[in-house]
Structures are given as structure tokens and as C-alpha cells.
Structure 1
Amino acid sequence: MTDALSTYAAADVAGNADDIDALVRTVRGFVETALRPHEEAVDRADDVDPALMRDLRRSAAELGIYGYNMPEEIGGPGLSRVAISAIDEAIGHTSMPLAEACGHLPGSLLFADESQREWFVGPLMRAERTVAYALTEPDAGSDLNALKTRARRTDGGWLLSGAKTFISHAETADHTIVLAVTDREAPLKGRLTTFIVPRGAKGYAIDRRFRKLGWHGYHISALSFDECFVPDGHVLGAPGAGFGVMMATINNDRLFVSCRCVGMAQRLIDLAVPHARDRTTFGRRLADHQAIAFMLADCDVEIDAARLLCAKAARLSDLKHPDARIAASRAKLYATEMVGRVADRVLQIFGGAGFMADLPVERIYRDARGFRIGEGTSEMQRLQIARSLIDRT
């Protein structure tokens, strides 16, 4: 068992070390043989062929990977949060768009009623359909009080109006989960409702696709809704329960992102160490130069520290500990900043070769930057962590 696997196995409440080891090896094999060969082509094209993605999703489903983070009650494997985190790290060893083939699904699916589990969740779990999640707005990111997208009641449902931005996969998703204000006068926890909006619904438009620094092939779009009718049966959770539905997704995704960053950083150091051993400068191995050796040491320590933060947050989640949410914020803050530092050092270790697109180093360097923004900025994580300290009694 590798050091990474032993970290998660030691944190697992159920003590299923062998099961975690087998699962992660399956995922790593899929990543290395099925996903990585497409990384360069996807990055250059800034697109993934839809037929290829369908095939990759089917392959992941056949291996029992797709929807790996979902509980048994909606058709998932029911893994512990620690086991899920170990898989998340393994998935971090490939690029953002291709990792989507592994089917990490939003926690908000747990709020689906029996009917929705049949027509909405079931096809997602079978890798037959895809879903996007629309929270961010042009004037509202982390500040939920600033949300302007609204839904008002009408006969048989709701009329949805507003705009969302920086939404992943919306242009290809079969459904988009949309967070909207339904009672402006209510407290925040009763003000919002989540809706399942099908692609092609009248009044729903994809306004543009953004060009990005990194994450090429992972499409991010701006959306708008103009009196878009959503039937009552498409409310996810109860009216007014949108805050809780949203937090079920955000908290899980913060830990997911943290573990992915650990995987990205581990891949970088796995590339850097052999290079430092084999490359010779001034008659000595690169690794024998103290400046390079110190860079490698710093990378190793920071990767392990981030992994331990992830494992702790996952364990607290499994234990339903009240500090689980803040632990996820700590992991998200540290891991997302850590991968940027590791990417910078590793690119420097490779020198000119690291700056070129022949190696995955420059792509990972670009991709790493976005994680400090999505799922709650570094500043928001620091604010939440500080508040938890100040408010502690």
C-alpha cells in the first residue's frame, strides 16, 4: 500500500483498508489507461469529443466507478467519505475534463423524491444523462444574500427568471440544477429553492462559453432564464429548502477539490523526482544541487500535509462531527494553494522543458490556478475558519 493509501486507510472509520486499496487501484488503472492518453488532444482542442466522453462514462460505469460518491439509497456504492476522498485523489492524476468521466455527482441528488429518483437520478447513476449545477451569478458568488435569480409561483409550477454565470457543463448537460430566490422576505435558510431545469426548456438559454486560462475542454458558460416554466415536480427538495440542498453539494465539492489538488501535486512530484535523478548539470545530478533538493523536500512535505488535512476532514464527515465543515474549509484552503506552489517549483525544476506543452507540467500549472476560486475562494475559506475560532465557546 502506498503512503497515500495508508493515510486514507488509517483515517477510515470502518477500517476497510483492503477495500480502499482495491478501489483506488481500479481508479488509477482507469485514469492511466483510459483517460491520460487523451489529455494532450483535449487540451489543444479545448474540447472533448461527445462520443468519446460517452464511451469513457460507460467504461467507468462498467468498472463500478461512475457515481462512486453516491450512497446506496440512490444506487451508489455507499462508500465512506474517507474512501471517496482516496478515489478523489486518484482522479486528480488526470485533467479536469477527462476526470468528468468518473462521475463524481452532486450531493444535492440526495434530496430527490421517489419520482425524481426514477426519471432524474437513475439515468445519472447509469451514466446515461449528465447534470450541471447553477449557483453563481454575475453579481453574486459566495454571497448568497445577493442572489437575484427568482422563481415565482404559477399554475402547476414556477416561472424562473435571472442569470447565472461560470457554470460548468451547462451547454451539454441534460438537466441543470438551479438555485433561485422564492421568498425574498424569508431568512436565508428559507429564502431559496432548487429547481431541475431540462435542457431545451422554453425560456432557458446558454448565452456564451467562456475562454479560460486553464481547464481546457471543461466548458464553463453563462446562462439566462426568461420566465422559464418549471413544474412543481422539478423542485429538488421542498420549496424554501434550497440553502440546505446547496450546502450538501458545496461541502462535498470542497473536499473533492482538495483531494483532487493533492492528486495533481502528487503527479507533479512523481514527474519531478525521476527528472532530478536523471538530469545532469555541472557534472552532478540535478537532485544533488541543494536548491533543487530543497524544492523537492518542500513539495513532499506540503503534499503530505494537504493529504492529512483531507483525510481528517473526511473522517470527521464520516463521524458527522460538528467540525467537519470547517475541516473541509481548511483542507480546501491549504490544498488548493499548495498545488500552485508545487506546480511552480516543479516547472522550475524542469526549466525550459517545463514551460513547453510537451510535458503535462505547464498544463497542470495553468489548471491549478482555478481551484483557489471555485467552490469558495481562499479568502472565503479563511473568513469561515477565522469565524469558527472567534465564535468558539
Structure 2
Amino acid sequence: MTEDEFQELKAEITAWVEGPGEEFAERIEATGVVPPDLFETLRERGYLSLAAPERLGGRGIPFSRYLELMEVFSRSHGSVRMLVHVINGTWRAMEPYATPEQLERIVKPSVAGEVLVAFTLTEATAGTGADIRTTVRREGDTYYMTGEKHLITFGVKCDYWLITARLEGTSGNEGTVEFLMPNSGLPGVEVIDDSDTMGIRGTDHAILRFQDAPVPASARLGEEGQGLEVALGGFLLPSRISVAMSCVGLAERAQQLAVEYALKRETFGKRLAERPVIQQYLAENYADIAAARALVLEAGRAYEEGRPDAAALSSASKMVAVDMIGRVTDKALQVHGGQGYWHRNAIERVYRDARAPRFEEGTNEIQKTVVARHVLTEAVAARAAASTQPTDTQEKAEDRA
């Protein structure tokens, strides 16, 4: 794709978000359901296959440029952003580990928007990492799964769960296993619709309970012991950057609404835009958004280039962007005064949707742990390297010898 073609696509998406996208947003808020024709529209327009490589049937847009498109989609309704974000990302976890049969039957159709795959890691009693408690035991060609997952986006209506478990009797990273488990009425599986959320209305979410649920060995993705490798490196690392950019896009929408209202609303004979306190809010929002956007794009480039600091920058960008969107949407709502609290105004929906990224792909408390680990590891490595370097005195002594 040439730069001109990319800019044409970006302009097309922007026009869709500001036109039909807003109409879909109103329908979703009125009904609480994502209409089937939204999914079909996104699929037919190719918006669900932007980031995947051409060999999988995608458009092959580089990750750092795809982030620019995610920024635009995120100015729309949260459910629109969620569909585009998840479907443009799950292939990264699946492709490196998929068998040829899984590639043709699941991965490529998911890129085409014909099969929906739900990322399934989070548990109510674990921290979505090495402490997961959902277990499997193998008997011949079948694994039997027992445990519970929750907050699973698209977990109700999906075709497959991209699900992480562990072999019975294992702990830590060892023994984790990944599956492409069909959502097809398997015995021992209970799917509970848990979609009544504060924001991102319309997107379905599930609680999943398993009791000796049979999973064919052919559904395993990768080898035993690679479960967290698939989940964390394959999906979460780039997904955190994408969520961070979604914060940027939604913050831009909040700022746009605040500016429009400030230019229109008059109090005591003056427009709000003429009042210094409102100008300060808008200026602070502008700076906040610009700073977060720059860090997100840097994280995207680090991931794209395979740099060793990519994971730390991924978590750092989400930390910064999540805190930023909280500040920006709060000020944008304050600019609207009491009007902003009413459901009829778009800023009310934006304010609710802005809360979800605080827990998507791990809370900020988790992100800080990742970043701190990187900082301390780098510091220890630097000290170790310095201790092995000869001092000036040692070098002079060696020269004299």
C-alpha cells in the first residue's frame, strides 16, 4: 500500500466513523445490542482484516500504521472499536503455532471475519498470568478441562475460545497449554452471559465454567508448556499498545466534543471558550493527548522492530494512555457542565466507555510491574557489565607490564 493509498483509506474510515459509525452508535445505545449488520458492514469494508499479512488474506498494513487507523476507529462507539481491535489482533497469537489444518479452518476465516475467536485468559481467582488455575488432564487424544474464566469479550457468541489452561499438577509458566476450543455446546461447559456493563454497551462478555469438559488434542495450539507464550507474547504485547491507542482516539473525541460545546455555550454573555479556566482545560487535554500518542507510536515501532524494550514500552504506553484518558474525559465532561451527565449527549457515552481500558489487557498495577521489572533488570545488567570493565589503573598497569 502506497502512502497515498493509506491516506485514502484513513480518510474513508474517518468518514465512516463520523457518519454511519455514529448511526450505529445510537442504535447500540438505544438497544444495548450490537446489530448483526454492523459486523457485516465492518467485514465487507475490510476493516476486520487490516493488520493481518496478505498470506492470511489481510491488507498487510504495518503495525505502527495500523495504530493510526485504530486511533480513528476509537473515536466511534466502544463496541465498534472492540470488534476492530480484537479481530485485527488474535491472528498474531494463532498463526505462529497453528497447524496447517488450524490455519485453513480457523485462522484465515477469522481474518476474513467469517469466524469469531475470543481471547480467553482472565480468571476471577487468578491474576491472568502464571497463576492461572484452569486445568486440563490428558487421556489419550482428549484433554479434560476444569475451571472458570470471566470477563471474556465475545465469549458468548464466538465460534472459538483462544483459551489458556495448565496441566494438572504444574505451576508457574511450565505446563501451560493453549487451545482453540470450539464454542459448540461441549458437555461440561457452562456459558453465562455477563454483558450488562457500564460502558462499551452491546459487546457480549461471558463467564465460562468448565467441569471435565472434553477438548480434542487436535484443538491444542502449539506445544504443552507454550500456553503463556502464545497468550502473552502473541496477543497481549501488541494488544496493549492497540488499547493505548484506543485511549488516544477516544480522548480526541472527548476533546472534540468539549471544544464544540465551549464554542457554542454561553453563560453571562460570554461563550465558555472565552473563559480562562475552560481554555486551561482544553490546553491541558491537548498536551495530554499529544504526549500519550507519541509514546504509543514509539511502542508500536519498538514492537514492529522486535526491540528488547518492546514489552516495557507496550506496558508503559498503556499506563500513560489510561491515566491520560481519565483526565481528559473528566475535563471534557466538566466543560459540558450538567448537560454532560445526560444520556442524550455523546460525551456521556464517551465518559463511560473511557473506563474500560483501565482493566483491558491488564490493569495499570500489572503494567507497572512489567515496566519496573524491565527497569531493574536493565540496571542490574548495566552494573554487571560495568564491574567487568578494567579501570584506568588496571589498564595502565597492564600497559607497563
What TM-score, normalized by structure 2, do the two folds share?
Answer: 0.88
- Give the CA deviation at 1:322: 0.7
- Give the CA deviation at 1:300: 0.3
Partner of 1:225: 210
Matched, 1:314 2:329: no
CA contact (8 A) 2:163 2:179 kept: yes
Amino acid corresponding to residue 63 of structure 1 in structure 2: R
Partner of 1:348: 334
- Give the CA deviation at 1:96: 1.9
Partner of 2:191: 206
Matched, 1:69 2:51: yes
1:165 to 138, 150, 153: 150
* DSSP-derived class of the 1:145 partner: coil
CA contact (8 A) 2:58 2:112 kept: no
Structure 1 gaps of 5+ residues are 1-13
Matched, 1:295 2:281: yes
Give the alignment of 1:321-332 within 5 angstroms: 321-332=307-318
CA contact (8 A) 1:180 1:194 kept: yes
Amino acid corresponding to residue 366 of structure 1 in structure 2: R
* DSSP-derived class of the 1:146 partner: coil
Deviates more, 1:21-30 or 1:217-226: 21-30
CA contact (8 A) 2:64 2:304 kept: yes
Change (3 A) 1:121 1:17: same
For residues 169-191 of structure 1, what are the alpha-carbon distances to aligned partners after superposition, in whole Å with 9 as ceiling and x for unaligned? 11100111110002644651x32
Partner of 1:195: 179
Change (3 A) 1:342 1:105: same
- Give the CA deviation at 1:91: 1.1
Change (3 A) 1:187 1:345: closer
* DSSP-derived class of the 1:346 partner: helix
Percent identical pairs in the alignment equals: 29
Partner of 2:223: 238
Change (3 A) 1:216 1:315: same
Amino acid corresponding to residue 175 of structure 1 in structure 2: Y
For residues 59-80 of structure 1, what are the alpha-carbon distances to aligned partners after superposition, in whole Å with 9 as ceiling and x for unaligned? 3333332221222332222221
Partner of 2:65: 83
* Number of positions where the alignment pairs a residue of Structure 1 with one of Structure 2: 373
Deviates more, 1:236-245 or 1:56-65: 56-65
* DSSP-derived class of the 1:172 partner: coil
Change (3 A) 1:38 1:209: same
CA contact (8 A) 1:254 1:328 kept: yes
Matched, 1:253 2:235: no
Matched, 1:93 2:79: no
Alpha-carbon distance between aligned partners in 2 of 1:381 and 1:228, rounded to the nearest angstrom: 33
Partner of 1:5: none
For residues 28-65 of structure 1, what are the alpha-carbon distances to aligned partners after superposition, in whole Å with 9 as ceiling and x for unaligned? 2232333220213312332223x32xxx3333333332
What TM-score, normalized by structure 1, do the two folds share?
Answer: 0.90
Alpha-carbon distance between aligned partners in 2 of 1:182 and 1:29, rounded to the nearest angstrom: 49
For residues 95-152 of structure 1, what are the alpha-carbon distances to aligned partners after superposition, in whole Å with 9 as ceiling and x for unaligned? 122334534231212222210011111221222221111101111134x232111111
Alpha-carbon distance between aligned partners in 2 of 1:277 and 1:382, rounded to the nearest angstrom: 39
Partner of 2:131: 146
Matched, 1:46 2:61: no
CA contact (8 A) 1:124 1:130 kept: yes
Partner of 1:30: 16
Give the alignment of 1:106-185 within 5 angstroms: 106=90, 107-110=92-95, 111-142=97-128, 144-182=129-167, 184-185=169-170
Amino acid corresponding to residue 325 of structure 2 in structure 1: V
* DSSP-derived class of the 1:376 partner: coil
Alpha-carbon distance between aligned partners in 1 of 2:66 and 2:82, rounded to the nearest angstrom: 15
* DSSP-derived class of the 1:391 partner: helix
CA contact (8 A) 1:148 1:181 kept: yes
Amino acid corresponding to residue 34 of structure 1 in structure 2: P
For residues 263-293 of structure 1, what are the alpha-carbon distances to aligned partners after superposition, in whole Å with 9 as ceiling and x for unaligned? 1010111111122122222222211111000
Q: Which runs of 4+ in 1 moved over 6 A?
A: none
Partner of 1:4: none
CA contact (8 A) 1:139 1:146 kept: no
Structure 2 gaps of 5+ residues are 383-401
